[in-house]
Structure 1
Amino acid sequence: MHPRVLEVTERLIERSRPTRERYLALMDAAASEGPQRGKLQCANFAHGVAGCTSATDKQRLRLMDQANVAIVSAYNDMLSAHQPYEHFPEIIKQALRDIGSVGQFAGGVPAMCDGVTQGEAGMEMSLASREVIAMSTAIALSHNMFDAALCLGICDKIVPGLLIGALRFGHLPTVFVPGGPMPSGISNKEKAEVRQLFAEGKATREQLLESEMKSYHSPGTCTFYGTANTNQMVVEIMGLHLPGSSFVNPYTPLRDELTREAARQVTRMTKQSGSFMPLCRIIDEKAIINSVVAVHATGGSTNHTLHIPAIAQAAGIQLTWQDMADLSEVVPSLAKVYPNGKDDVNHFHAAGGVGFLVRTLLEAGLLHEDVNTVVGHGLSRYTREPFLEEGKLAWREGAAQSLDDSILRPVSKPFSPEGGLRVMEGNLGRGVTKVSAVAPEHRVVEAPARVFHDQAELAAAFKAGELERDFIAVVRFQGPRANGMPELHKLTPFLGVLQDRGFKVALVTDGRMSGASGKVPAAIHVCPEAIDGGPLARVRDGDLIRVDGVKGTLDVLVDPAEWTARDTVAPPEDKGIGCGRELFAFMRAAFSTAERGASAFTSSLETLK
């Protein structure tokens, strides 16, 4: 093992010892010697099986000799990624019947699309939806009717929410079931060019719409490497997917057979099978470290600086940004997938995909091989890839070499020697930046501040021609407690245009930008956030700011005495009303800082100490 990976793992284990031990004790106490439904009162049990339309299923549930699998799904047909899940429950139930087990649809969880709500009022509920999904998952599993669970989810807050909720039922064996990406549409380069032309007024709305619909064109996950596809990478390398299953396209025979096998496999992990492997014994400190390594190696979404700490905490593990940044220094960048490159996840999968990535990282000692997974002990099982042999699912060893080193490379020939995540710290607070998509000449920017209180203000200033100069955009009051931390991705085309025109530009915000944030340097998730009196609330237009993505510093270059004497600016009038946002006021008030996962659960989980 690489000494840095060992060092970070060991200190994580030590730091987490009290909460992890308490978590595992809770899970052990929750685990039953036999099927939990066997201990229910007769009336409770009768309610639990009354909806079964199959008499055989009812009888099997009464006899306790086979597994009852909970299906928790984020299906809705407005999200292209989740539309294929419409058909999964019946596929799963039949696969379980064929082996003498039972599947019950335990509950649905909400699934919203950041791509649809981007720049709209509904985006302010996006991060909060992760907590709602976690709670919905817990409700679905709360009936004590189940021996195992299958979680169906893909996109931004959905997988983290499902996993946080499932970890509180970590005594159950659990497999995550992906849906796969849509086939490739127009090139990402062409899509980005049309977006920038529209931002400059050189393309019509009709041209923009035609371009976007050629890119997002069918059922399946969006093909760029944003938060949704980073989720799939993370969950597979955590050992919660079947090997090689993350990026198989929907509505294909292989995809359907992988779904059937996920149902069969989760029954093999139950106590009835004799090979008990609960979720709490898969997600441990080593699995968390592996997930961070995977994000760094692939240039994954910065949203995972929020999600992985929140997931870890649900398992009693205390991950910090510094842990993540220290790993980034030694984990090379091995993938160029849009927005870090021109190709999409289908091309990544074809070049060798997760199997090759796991192989080369294991060989370099950057991943823990000694971990539990849903298919057994040892991460080396994830160098394999699935295929159909006369209609039956089989696995073979995956690519030993990348089939396209413009997309995917071995550790011995990286795109960059480090992963690109930095902790940014200075007198403006503490945040993160991802420099893997930022050209070296743009990683340090020193320029006057231009302050905005939302992304609409910046867009208006751009259209008015006020930003034709060097500047650092400070977009504040965008943190989790202020307005739910909406995605600020709509800023990217405007700032990208200005950078292309030769201006030095950067973004500093207590808000967030996803894995689609692209080529503009951005210090994000800055905390303390402005609404809590953080330093960003003291910044004025014209203040000289230095964003140094090389050294990891974030400073306003104002006389210290003047800076200290300044009052903080009051937040704008609360706009958290309408579009249902008022229902989430209690959650905004409970959110932790970004470094602690921007989670409403932090305080309650700390009681585990």
Structure 2
Amino acid sequence: MSVPHPVVAAVTQRITERSARTRAAYLRRVEAAATEGPVRAGLGCSNLAHGFAGCGGQDKVTVKESSTPNVAIVSAYNDLLSAHQPMNEYPAWIKDAARAAGGVAMFAGGVPAMCDGITQGRTGMELSLFSREVIAMATGVALAHDMFDATLLLGVCDKIVPGLLIGALSFGQLPAILVPAGPMASGLSNGEKAHVRQLYAEGRATREDLLASESKSYHSPGTCTFYGTANSNQLVVEVMGLHLPGATFVPPGTPLRKALTEAAGRRAVEISALGPEYTPLARVVDEKSVVNGVVALLATGGSTNHTLHLVAIAAAAGIQLSWDDFADLSAVVPLLARIYPNGQADINHFVAAGGVQFLIGTLLDAGLLHADVTTVDGPGLDRYRREPVLDAGELVWRAGPSTSSDLDVLRPVAEPFAPDGGLRMLSGNLGRAVIKVSAVAPQDRVVQAPARVFTSQQEFEDAYRTGELDRDVVIVLRQQGPAANGMPELHGLTPQLGSLMSRGHKIALVTDGRMSGASGKIPAAIHCTPEAAHGGPIAKIHDGDLIRLDAVSGTIEVLADLGDRIPADHTVSDEEWTGTGRELFAALRKAVGPADTGASVFGPGYDCPETADEEGLELTA
């Protein structure tokens, strides 16, 4: 086993020390909730009768006797999201597999699932980040019936996987396995798609041209093939040991996908407290697995949304992860993958080149991942070097690739695309921000230009169409933070910004909003905090102020004295923040925390009872 890289070891140690009290308090809560037998055995007769009234046949007998594991299925299935549509068939497969393994599986609850691709640039996008909290709460509702001994979490995209995981961590005494659906087949290349989008932004392509292009890109059930938040979710949670090995990118509608889904049902029975290998979620998600998730994100140039989501997930487990941890790990974790928007390949090309198995292997060999972790498949991350295959119709795992078959897409640690992970923290008199530079050309990583300030995407688009921005300019788009309007993704601005850059101008974006996994060639200082709605420095910028964004030195500065300026107040009132269901989320907008603590309405998760001792606890069967 390789010795952990000294920086990886040091960051993990400081997270552990920083989190000692809060992690111990979390584990104490989980330990108190754990029971030797099924918790449903302690329910009153009326309560229990309600719990199995809908069951049929042997399932009713099994649940009634409380003698075998009952697995909760919590699903984000809907027909609208291509990535989730394949999950329609999963519950039936899982139920059969659980019965065969000597257990029962019940559909415990559904959670909402938004498509950011559909809501992009629309008011519905202002609910997107808050949907993570709703999903977490819905997961909590599903598991609150005290009927279950393990959980299968069915979800893929954006806020859905983090929400499912945050919710399940409140029931950390239960084992939980995340069950993916896999990517759609490759369609129109991402580079061609981006080109047509830019032509449309410039008025050189029609809406019919654009729709034809998009339809060829997003054309079938399965996850979108670019390396956005959905595919980042999947890769990160596999490296955290929350998928079965190799389950992440197997396409939907294949015999192998079905076999892996059935295997998840069987495995959930095995790792329940009533099975032979009790593996509660609280034991899988620990400081080392969280660091492994960050390393995987950085090594592949994944979605910037995870600077929010991983912080929030860690907090739900009592672990205090900070942006400084991301920055310090990024400095030593090399960039090993080029997947669009960080390259021309899509996720299927990444898989063909060696995929998650090769990535985990080369990172483990270099000491950049912790090998000594608990996973849903068993002890040790080495088992995730294996890939699943069907042998005479039976699911087996074999050794995964030890070399990359395409060095233009995936490389070993010894031959990286870049020496660092390409995710950097910026700080200065504008506060703190995140920038992803893995797809930004070196010559574009330092921009100094006059500011042009906007408070809505529409204002920016109007200025672009009139030619006002045809120059060197730093676009400041504020009042886009979580407390302002729910922190919508802004990558709908990318075609216009790319068009300006292609004309030879120095272009950058500074925003308290998000740019998502589609962050590309435009230098973008995002998640700026404190946000404008809280009077942050970004609210004091005037048109024409010189702004210097320096991703090399890690600074974001306005070259003006902000001391006597009064923050501009463009905060949208509750009365104005209505329509598309936004009024239903007003309470969340009031409660949400800052970006650097995960932009969560649950708080940073660090205010745990003082009675908790500072020694880690270990759950046992």
TM-score by length of 2: 0.97
Instruction: Pick the aligned partner of 2:172 from 170, 173, 179.
Output: 170
- Deviations 1:204-251 (Å, cap 9, x if unpaired)? 000000000000000000000000000001110010001011000001
1 CA distance for matches of 2:293 and 2:501? 32
Report the Cα offset of residue 130 of structure 1. Answer: 0.2
Report the Cα offset of residue 189 of structure 1. Answer: 1.0
Counterpart residue type for residue 12 of structure 2: T
Show the counterpart of 1:595: 596
2 CA distance for matches of 1:540 and 1:33? 63
Report the Cα offset of residue 573 of structure 1. Answer: 4.4
3-state SS in 2 of match to 1:566: coil
Within a 5 Å distance, the mapping from 1:165-204 to structure 2 comes to 165-204=167-206
CA distance change for structure 1 residues 241 and 556 in 2, over 3 Å: closer, same or farther?
same
Show the counterpart of 2:323: 321
Report the Cα offset of residue 66 of structure 1. Answer: 1.6
- Deviations 1:169-208 (Å, cap 9, x if unpaired)? 0000111100000000011111011000000000000000
Q: Is the 8 A contact 1:453 1:572 kept in 2?
A: no
1 CA distance for matches of 2:261 and 2:375? 17
Counterpart residue type for residue 123 of structure 2: A
3-state SS in 2 of match to 1:386: strand
1 CA distance for matches of 2:361 and 2:66? 41
Matched, 1:568 2:547: no
1 CA distance for matches of 2:384 and 2:502? 41
- Deviations 1:243-282 (Å, cap 9, x if unpaired)? 0110000010000000000000111101222321100000
2 CA distance for matches of 1:302 and 1:604? 21
Report the Cα offset of residue 99 of structure 1. Answer: 2.3
Show the counterpart of 2:300: 298
Report the Cα offset of residue 64 of structure 1. Answer: 2.4
Instruction: Pick the aligned partner of 1:236 from 214, 217, 238.
Output: 238
Gap regions ≥5 residues in structure 1: none
Show the counterpart of 1:132: 134
- Deviations 1:302-360 (Å, cap 9, x if unpaired)? 00000000000000000000011000000000000000011110110111100000000
Instruction: Pick the aligned partner of 1:451 from 450, 453, 467.
Output: 453
Instruction: Pick the aligned partner of 1:440 from 434, 438, 442.
Output: 442
Instruction: Pick the aligned partner of 2:24 from 17, 21, 46.
Output: 21
Q: Is the 8 A contact 1:383 1:397 kept in 2?
A: yes
Counterpart residue type for residue 275 of structure 1: E
Matched, 1:41 2:40: no
Q: Is the 8 A contact 1:70 1:105 kept in 2?
A: yes
2 CA distance for matches of 1:543 and 1:288? 40
Q: Is the 8 A contact 1:23 1:608 kept in 2?
A: no
Matched, 1:586 2:593: no
Instruction: Pick the aligned partner of 1:483 from 475, 482, 485.
Output: 485
3-state SS in 1 of match to 2:106: strand
Within a 5 Å distance, the mapping from 1:61-460 to structure 2 comes to 61-460=63-462
2 CA distance for matches of 1:606 and 1:205? 51
3-state SS in 2 of match to 1:602: coil
2 CA distance for matches of 1:278 and 1:82? 26
Show the counterpart of 1:495: 497
Report the Cα offset of residue 88 of structure 1. Answer: 0.4
Counterpart residue type for residue 576 of structure 1: W
Counterpart residue type for residue 406 of structure 2: D
Counterpart residue type for residue 262 of structure 1: A
Report the Cα offset of residue 608 of structure 1. Answer: 4.3
- Deviations 1:447-476 (Å, cap 9, x if unpaired)? 000000011111111111111100000000
Q: Is the 8 A contact 2:597 2:604 kept in 1?
A: no
3-state SS in 2 of match to 1:210: helix
1 CA distance for matches of 2:101 and 2:272? 14
Q: Is the 8 A contact 1:477 1:571 kept in 2?
A: yes
Within a 5 Å distance, the mapping from 1:476-555 to structure 2 comes to 476-555=478-557
Q: Is the 8 A contact 2:312 2:604 kept in 1?
A: no
2 CA distance for matches of 1:178 and 1:568? 45
Show the counterpart of 2:618: none
2 CA distance for matches of 1:508 and 1:36? 51
- Deviations 1:74-111 (Å, cap 9, x if unpaired)? 00000000000111001101111222211100000000
Counterpart residue type for residue 22 of structure 1: A
Deviates more, 1:272-281 or 1:38-47: 272-281
List structure 1 segments (4+ residues) > 6 angstroms apart after TM superposition. none
Show the counterpart of 2:14: 11
2 CA distance for matches of 1:580 and 1:318? 33
TM-score by length of 1: 0.98
2 CA distance for matches of 1:218 and 1:485? 29
Matched, 1:56 2:55: no
Q: Is the 8 A contact 2:83 2:223 kept in 1?
A: yes
Show the counterpart of 2:613: none
Q: Is the 8 A contact 2:5 2:366 kept in 1?
A: yes
Counterpart residue type for residue 571 of structure 1: H
Q: Is the 8 A contact 2:290 2:314 kept in 1?
A: yes
Identity of aligned residues (%): 62
Report the Cα offset of residue 61 of structure 1. Answer: 1.2
2 CA distance for matches of 1:41 and 1:572? 51
3-state SS in 2 of match to 1:273: coil
Q: Is the 8 A contact 2:330 2:421 kept in 1?
A: yes
- Deviations 1:527-575 (Å, cap 9, x if unpaired)? 10001110011101000000001111000011x3xx2111111115433
Gap regions ≥5 residues in structure 2: 611-621
Deviates more, 1:267-276 or 1:322-331: 267-276
3-state SS in 1 of match to 2:517: coil
1 CA distance for matches of 2:102 and 2:6? 47
